[in-house]
């Protein structure tokens, strides 16, 4: 994806506001052994970059008056009230130099511990950190959790990563997901609910029978006093 940008010499809040009114946002390009450069990027292109941020996309950045360079989106600032994109940071990328990135982990399938044993599947960590060449960055790491039974844990070391291309930086023992048993409160809630339903469903004693029984009891009490 090609991103076009212009250099900007003026800085500050007032200049940033003026820039946004023209349909562009302020940005900065740094790293890769080069100097930091202040840029202005079309807002529509910047938003498109933001939509792909979690996939570690490498962009071809064309700055007016300079040779094209490869870069990645590293950070951004969004207005907390209006949600407008205010600023983005770009990092130069050399295709022959390994870089550190965070990659999203996606689970597929329904664990046996949930389907057959009544357990609960919980995600603990949704991304890991790796180091690799830019061309080897995984867009996402998928892992099949179908065989996970009750009590089993998915750890970073279990992920299908090619160690010849990608080096895992996250602790290999880091738990990413697990299948746990329902809490005691959840288990106890079911029988209590069943009892409540049974009591509510029990037919009420007819009013006529209760009245006749009460009169009979009062009559017996009266006879006893007469004796």
Number of domains the chain contains: 3
84 and 108 share one domain = no
Domain that holds residue 211: 186-226
The predicted pLDDT at position 197 comes to 46
pLDDT digits (tens, 9 = 90+) for 62-120: 988 778 889 999 999 999 998 889 999 999 999 999 999 999 999 999 999 999 999 99
| Domain final residue pick, 143, 158, 180 | 180
112 and 78 share one domain = no
80 and 47 share one domain = yes
What's the CATH code of the domain at 25?
2.40.240.10
The predicted pLDDT at position 183 comes to 79
Of 186, 175, 190, 179, the closest CA to residue 114 belongs to 179
pLDDT digits (tens, 9 = 90+) for 177-192: 999 998 765 555 555 5
Note the pTM of the prediction, 2 decimals: 0.70
167 and 194 share one domain = no
Question: How do 141-144 and 99-108 pair as beta strands?
Answer: parallel
20 and 87 share one domain = yes
What's the CATH code of the domain at 152?
2.170.120.20
Residues found in the chain: 227
| Domain final residue pick, 37, 61, 92 | 92
195 and 159 share one domain = no
Please state the three-class secondary structure of 84-130 as a single string.
Answer: CEEEEEEEECCCCCCEEEEEEEEEECCCHHHHCCCCEEEECCCEEEE
208 and 134 share one domain = no
């Amino acid at each position: 994806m090609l991103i076009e940008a212009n250099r900007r010499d003026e800085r500050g809040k007032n200049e940033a506001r003026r820039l946004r009114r023209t349909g562009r946002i302020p940005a900065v390009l740094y790293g890769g052994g080069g100097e930091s450069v202040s840029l202005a990027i079309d807002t529509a292109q910047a938003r498109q970059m933001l939509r792909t941020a979690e996939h570690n996309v490498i962009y071809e950045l064309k700055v007016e008056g300079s040779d094209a360079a490869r870069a990645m989106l590293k950070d951004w600032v969004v207005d907390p009230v209006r949600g407008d994109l205010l600023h983005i940071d770009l990092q130069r990328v050399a295709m022959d130099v390994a870089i550190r990135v965070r990659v999203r982990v996606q689970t597929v399938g329904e664990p046996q511990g949930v389907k057959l044993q009544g357990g609960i599947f919980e995600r603990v960590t949704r991304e890991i950190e790796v180091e690799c060449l830019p061309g080897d960055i995984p867009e996402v790491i998928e892992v099949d959790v179908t065989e996970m039974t009750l009590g089993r844990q998915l750890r970073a070391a279990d992920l299908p990563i090619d160690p010849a291309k990608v080096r895992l930086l996250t602790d290999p023992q880091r738990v990413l997901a697990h299948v746990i048993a329902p809490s005691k409160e959840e288990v106890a809630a079911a029988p209590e609910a069943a009892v409540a339903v049974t009591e509510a469903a029990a037919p009420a004693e007819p009013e006529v029978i209760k009245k006749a029984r009460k009169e009979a009891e009062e009559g017996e009490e009266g006879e006893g006093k007469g004796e």
